[in-house]
Copies of this chain bind each other. A is one copy, B any other.
Amino acid sequence: MEKILNSSTGYIKNYIHYFHRRIYFADTDAAQVVYHAEYLKLAEQARTEMLRLRGYNYNYLKRNYKAHFAIHSLSANYSKPLKLDDEIIIETNVKSLSGASIDMEQKFLLLNNKDMHLASRLNIKVVLVNDKGILIRLPKKMFKELKLLVV
């Protein structure tokens, strides 16, 4: 836990990436909870840091494949609201891979003392898009490496 809380890039253990974040005013709305669209922005941060730790940062993708990740589709379930100053952990893991897409699951966990409560769950299909906006297949090396992360 200590390792997660003191890191701005998160921490990988048993194929799961853990990312710590506080909730700020910018994340919330007049219902005094985190606005539903803001979860997607926080999830991008967690995914990006997971992929960076695996070697796939923006610059690597751009330099090697002239490509970037884009969102094909997603679904979100909000079970427990998050509030100002809450401490959360975002768990990210790769669920499955096809030749042209990566399915990830991201869980938002509310930290309360030392317990963690599931607050919401995001399933997201990520694809690789070249600099003309055209969908490309996952490079073999990437496919192989990410395949190892599917439990």
Docked Cα-Cα span, A7 to B84, in Å, equals: 20
Contact with B along A9-25 (1 / 0, CB 8 A): 00000000000111011
> Nearest Cβ in chain B — how far from A38, in angstroms?
7
Closest to A83 in B: B30
| A30 CB contacts on chain B under 8 angstroms | 25, 28-30, 32-33, 83-84
Q: Report if A37 contacts B (CB, 8 A).
A: yes
Count residues of chain A with CB under 8 A from any CB of chain B: 45
Contact (A84, B71) CB under 8 Å given A22-B48, A29-B30: no
Is A133 touching B44 in the complex (CB atoms < 8 A)?
no
Task: Tell yes or no: A99 within 8 A of B by CB.
Answer: no
Which of A72-80, A101-109, A110-118, A139-147 sits within the interface? A72-80
Taking A58-B85, A85-B57 as contacts, is the C-beta distance between A75 and B73 under 8 angstroms?
A: yes
Majority-rule SS of A interface residues: mixed
CA distance A129 to B75 in the complex (A): 21
Per-residue B-contact encoding for A43-74, CB less than 8 Å = 1, 0 else? 01100110000000111000000001011111
A97 at the interface (CB under 8 A from B): no
User: Known contacts being A20-B8, A58-B84, A133-B81, is A68 close to B31, with CB within 8 Å?
Assistant: yes
Cα A105 to Cα B67 with chains together (Å): 32
* Inter-chain contacts of A72 with B (CB < 8 A): 77-78
Determine the distance from Cα of A58 to Cα of B85 in the docked complex, in whole angstroms: 7
- Determine if A119 is an interface residue (Cβ-Cβ < 8 Å): no
